Every structure is written in structure tokens, then in C-alpha cells.
Homo-oligomer: A and B are copies of this chain.
Amino acid sequence: MAPVKPIEIRGRTVAGGAQPLICTPLVGRTRGAVLDELAAVMPKKPDLIEWRIDFFEAIADTGLVIDLARALKAGAGDAPILLTCRSSREGGERIPLADTGVVALLEAACAAGCIDLIDYELSNAAPDLRRLRAVSREHGVAMIMSYHNFQSTPDAAALVAKFTAAAGEGADIAKVAVMPRGPRDVLTLLEATLTASETLQIPLISMSMGAVGSLSRMFGWVYGSAVTFAVGKASSAPGQIPIDELRAVLAQVRRAVTGG
């Protein structure tokens, strides 16, 4: 199997190094809706919780975002909180903040000590990416640098280049999410993930989206993807599988693939 690198936050390995970690997104529009999602999701024991703040209607109010992040942290038990403001250019919601506003918000969240990871796209302006890298590191917040393509799957070399670029920018974790046009594109994503996992030292996250891409959510970890995203209450990307179903398949796949 591919050498999956465990994800560490402040020196602690998340979920004891489980392979893969299961991450559940929260996509509510209001404080109440997000807290309801957390309450619905926690009994399903996700390893990681991603709050997609581009869905949050009060995103322009930094105080409200940080208050809610604190509430999530308090309610999430051992599961780290990943804060993501997915750019509308890469599949996120449209938000009333310019890029500078997003950077300021993520900086404030890092400084407030209420989150464990942030996700920021590689396609952002280099000065913003580097500033957030420095600020997140200063506050012990892990940084995912990501690439999304909702139209197609670039070739394996191009995908490896994205993982490599993230590592080159000092990412703690590199993420690639792409849309397949058929089952062959899922193989391309897995091949690229395996190649990157053999050459890079940081943990990787990858997935092929949509219905056929859901294969990668079930067996991408065999090719080096450290995290798989699953639906808790509502999905944040096409092809996500309900967490209970995903966990059952992962257990079977793990048993078969490890021969145990």
C-alpha cells in the first residue's frame, strides 16, 4: 500500500493515525443550523470536522464567525476543526468578502485559537498564501493547500505538480479534488496520488468527485489519501457518501486489502 502519512496537529496524531480519517463538512447558513448539524453529526464520530464558512450568511462579521468556531470546538470533542472558506472560483459559495477580507478573517481565526486547520487554495495570490502560511504556523494551526477542478481531471503529471506545489509552499497537507468524465479519470487521480505519496513527505488528501468518483472516497486511502469526506447531515461536494455507509465499506475494504 501507499505510505499514508498521518496528520498531526500541534504534535498530536489525529484519531490515532486511523487510515483514512473521515471528515464531515458543516454547511449550515445560520449559527443555529451549523450547531444543529454538529449535534446531528457527533454521534457518527467523525475524525475531523470541516466548517465551510462560505455557506455561513454572517461570514462578514468576524466576531460571529469566531464565536461560532469556539462553540464548534467546544462541542466537537477530540475531532479537530478545519476552517474552510472555499473560493467560488473553486466550487465554493459566493460571499460578501473580497480576497483581502477572507485573508483577514482566516488570520483572526488562527489568532483566536479556536480552530485546528485551515484550507486555502493554491490558486490564491502568492503573497496571501504565504502570509496565511506564516500566520497559521505562528498559531499552531495546520494548513491545507488545495486545488479543485469541478470540470475535468487534468493528467496525472499536472495533478502531481499541484501536490508538489503545495509542498513547495510549505503546506502541512496537500489536497487535490477533481471531476472525472468517466471511470478512467478516477484511475488518473489515484495514480497521481500514489506517485505524489512516494515522493513527498507531507500527508495528501485527494478525491475524484461525482458518482463514479465516489470510488476514490472508498479506496483512495490505499493510494495515499489521508482523509475522505463523508456526508453527516448535508453534502458539500458531489459524490459524498453518508458517513455510516462509508465507514462500513472502509471496514470491509481494510479487511480485504490488509488480508486480515
Residues of A within 8 A of B (CB): 1-2, 182-184, 187, 190-191, 194, 210-212, 214-215, 217-219, 222-223, 239, 241, 245, 248-249, 252-253, 255-259
Complex Cα distance A252/B215, Å? 10
What's the dominant secondary structure at chain A's contact region?
A: helix
Partner of A184, one of B191, B215, B218: B191
Partner of A214, one of B218, B223, B257: B257
Point out the residues of chain B lying under 8 angstroms from A1, CB to CB. Answer: 182-183, 212
**Could you tell me if A223 and B257 are in contact, using CB atoms closer than 8 angstroms?**
no
Provided the pairs A184-B194, A187-B190 are in contact, do residues A249 and B257 lie with their beta carbons within 8 angstroms?
A: no
Other A-B pairs beyond A212-B222, A248-B248, 20, CB < 8 Å? A1-B212, A183-B194, A183-B222, A184-B191, A187-B190, A187-B191, A210-B259, A211-B257, A211-B259, A212-B257, A214-B256, A214-B257, A215-B256, A215-B257, A217-B256, A218-B219, A218-B252, A218-B253, A219-B219, A245-B255
